[in-house]
Amino acid sequence: MATPDPSDDALMKAYAAGDAAAFEQLYRRHQAALYRFVRRLLGTALAAQTDEVFQDTWLRVVHARQRWEPQGATFRTWLFTLAHHRVIDVLRRSGREISSDAIEAAGEGDEPWQPDAAAWQHWPAPAGAAPQGDELAFWRRAGEKLLDCLEQLPLPQRSAFLLHHDDGLTLDEVARALEVGFETAKTRLRYAMSKLRTCMGAYLEPVHR
């Protein structure tokens, strides 16, 4: 009977105590998701900065190993928080950041446009584990379109969507990672989903026709 993998917190404590292997295990566990999160958060325009942000995030983990304490948040949440901060720094340097308050204020109370429900009927069932043939090609195109739609979202909404739907964080963890309130995180996620539905519904319209 194999021993269960140690938790992130235990690995981090072991690494803080000098166990380099614990860090390697942590790295392998989160490196892909973090790299993807950073890349999608930066978008295609700043994709070249992905490696820099990714490396800097992990180095921050290395340097903060002595001070780190799991004060209610998981290591994964803390890791994505660090990455999010670094992305904000890069966006600020590039002048691409848009005030989250302005975006949310503009969309507050306005129900985003919803595509016709019939358009979604033509999508293949998402439950397929290993789509083949045309179905796979469809999802790949859908994925490309989704990335395009994702780049149109403001950073706060994009972050909330990625953390929740891509990295699997709960809403509470999303709120912790983004350092906002639960309702704020929920609102951001709701607006992000609404905009993505609209964006993807427009993509589906030609197919529907």
- Rule CB under 8 A: which residues touch another protein? 12-13, 15-20, 23-24, 27, 31-32, 35-36, 39-40, 51, 54-55, 58-59, 62-63, 65-66, 68-69, 117, 120-121, 123, 126-128, 131, 136, 139-140, 142-147, 165-166, 193, 196-197, 200
Pick between residue 5 and residue 166 the one whose CB is nearest to another protein: 166
Q: How far apart are CA 112 and CA 152, in angstroms?
A: 14
Pick between residue 40 and residue 188 the one whose CB is nearest to another protein: 40
Let me know how long the chain is. 209
In angstroms, what is the minimal distance from the CB of 183 to another protein?
18
Pick between residue 63 and residue 105 the one whose CB is nearest to another protein: 63
- Angle formed by the axes of helices 171-178 and 182-208, to 10°? 110
Q: How far apart are CA 143 and CA 136, in angstroms?
A: 10
Closest CA to 157 of 107, 202, 89: 107
* Other CB atoms within 10 A of residue 167 CB: 19
| Neighbouring C-alpha atoms within 13 Å toward the C-beta of 207 | 16
In angstroms, what is the minimal distance from the CB of 197 to another protein?
5
* Other CB atoms within 10 A of residue 196 CB: 21
Q: How far apart are CA 135 and CA 128, in angstroms?
A: 9
In angstroms, what is the minimal distance from the CB of 193 to another protein?
6
In angstroms, what is the minimal distance from the CB of 155 to another protein?
17
How far, in whole angstroms, is CA 28 from its chain's centroid? 18
Pick between residue 18 and residue 95 the one whose CB is nearest to another protein: 18
In angstroms, what is the minimal distance from the CB of 102 to another protein?
25
Pick between residue 31 and residue 99 the one whose CB is nearest to another protein: 31
In angstroms, what is the minimal distance from the CB of 133 to another protein?
13
Pick between residue 101 and residue 110 the one whose CB is nearest to another protein: 110
Closest CA to 134 of 144, 124, 143: 124
